Amino acid sequence: MNENAIEIRGLVKAYPKFQLGPLDLTVPRGAIYGLIGPNGAGKTTAIDLIFGMGRNDAGQIRVLGLDHRADEVALKRRAAYVSPDLNFQVWAKVGKAIRFVRGFYPGWDDAYCAKLMKAFHLSDTDRILTLSSGAKTKLSLLLALARRPEVLILDEPITGLDVVSKQQVFGELLKAVQDGKRTVLISSHSLSDIERFADHVGMIKHGKLLFEGRTDQIVERFRLAEFFTNNGTILQSPTPEGLIILRWDENRWHALLDQNSGAQEWLATQGARDISLTRVTLEDLFVALVKDEEAA
């Protein structure tokens, strides 16, 4: 059995003003993988292509070993997709939506569905049109989770949810992957939640993957660096890969430093002194990299 639930290799999708890729991305089986990046980075484009919504110009996408186009029907039986754009109002009531979707999936779990209904405070008779945005998101999640999919792909699934509801949703996602046979790929701007719940993370910028790996290892790899130079001394430009200058004031500097690079040694050659390193959060890392994007 392939160790990876999703494998993307050399994926390219070009638009007049944007190109996704070439993109390589790997989601291990049994993982909760957080896909992050600034608006317009290509996250939703990549997710749409996995489900055949659009045609890639180059590259390959495999989900559970299945080709995303040649095996599209089999893939969609085993993988589920949730997005704020999904609309179930045509069925008028929650119960009717459930009964309609249930008919397509022999593996539908009625007991699990009932449990989720209770946890998400949904009722058969609830009118979908009058549900809050958070309740509509919960309905989308229920319709996906009750299928017991092997792969669950979520594009901004916690939009409109309050803190308690987010905890409920992530709690259900953690339970879903406990047996190691199910996988979740989640795209979200809620970085604190991603860091808390996702065991793997990848970041896209300008359509390219900046990094991916175990969340704890990614966060451990980077540090916020503070250091001093002699008055008026400007660091040699360009700075090396692995060092992003965030701000400076006269001789006091703040930077993001990749400990896997030679950036700290380079700083020493530039006369930097009193270098102090502070642990980062995923949000610190994201903000620093986006600032670098804006300055480029």
CATH of the domain at 280: 3.30.70
Q: Which of 152, 171, 206 is the last residue of a domain?
A: 206
Q: What are phi and psi of 171, to 5 degrees?
A: -60, -45
- Is residue 190 located within the same domain as residue 84? yes
Report the run of H or E that residue 222 belongs to, with start and end: strand 222-228
Q: What is the pLDDT of residues 134-171, one digit of tens each?
A: 888 889 999 999 999 999 999 887 777 788 888 888 88
Residues with Cβ within 8 Å of 152's Cβ and at least 6 positions away in sequence, in order, are 79, 80, 82, 144, 145, 173, 176, 182, 183, 184, 185
Long-range pairs for 242-251 at CB < 8 Å and ≥24 separation? 243/267, 244/288, 244/289, 244/291, 244/292, 246/288, 246/291
- Is residue 181 located within the same domain as residue 57? yes
Q: Do residues 228 and 272 make contact, with C-beta atoms less than 8 angstroms apart?
A: yes
- Is residue 278 located within the same domain as residue 196? no
* Whole-angstrom distance, CA of residue 65 vs CA of residue 233: 55
Report the run of H or E that residue 152 belongs to, with start and end: strand 151-155
Average pLDDT, the chain: 89
- Is residue 162 located within the same domain as residue 273? no
Domain for residue 97, yes or no?
A: yes
Domain for residue 139, yes or no?
A: yes
- Is residue 64 located within the same domain as residue 118? yes
Domain for residue 211, yes or no?
A: no
- Is residue 223 located within the same domain as residue 186? no
Domain for residue 214, yes or no?
A: no
- Is residue 160 located within the same domain as residue 254? no
In the chain, how many domains are there?
A: 2
Q: Which residue has the tokens 């089986």?
A: 29
**pLDDT at position 112:** 92
pTM here?
Answer: 0.88
Domain for residue 201, yes or no?
A: yes
Domain for residue 28, yes or no?
A: yes
- Is residue 164 located within the same domain as residue 289? no
Taking alpha carbons only, the member of 208, 153, 210 closest to residue 5 is: 153
Percent of the chain with pLDDT over 70: 96
Tokens of 271: 């006369």
**Coil, helix or strand at residue 124:** coil
Q: Do residues 152 and 183 make contact, with C-beta atoms less than 8 angstroms apart?
A: yes
- Is residue 81 located within the same domain as residue 57? yes
Give Rg (Cα) of the chain: 22
User: Residue 289: which domain range?
Assistant: 219-295
Nearest-5° angle of CA 89, CA 90, CA 91? 90
- Is residue 130 located within the same domain as residue 248? no
- Is residue 135 located within the same domain as residue 79? yes
Q: Which residue has the tokens 């979740």?
A: 184
- Is residue 189 located within the same domain as residue 252? no
Domain for residue 213, yes or no?
A: no
Q: Do residues 127 and 90 make contact, with C-beta atoms less than 8 angstroms apart?
A: no
Residues of the chain with pLDDT under 70: 1-2, 232, 292-296
* Whole-angstrom distance, CA of residue 138 vs CA of residue 169: 8
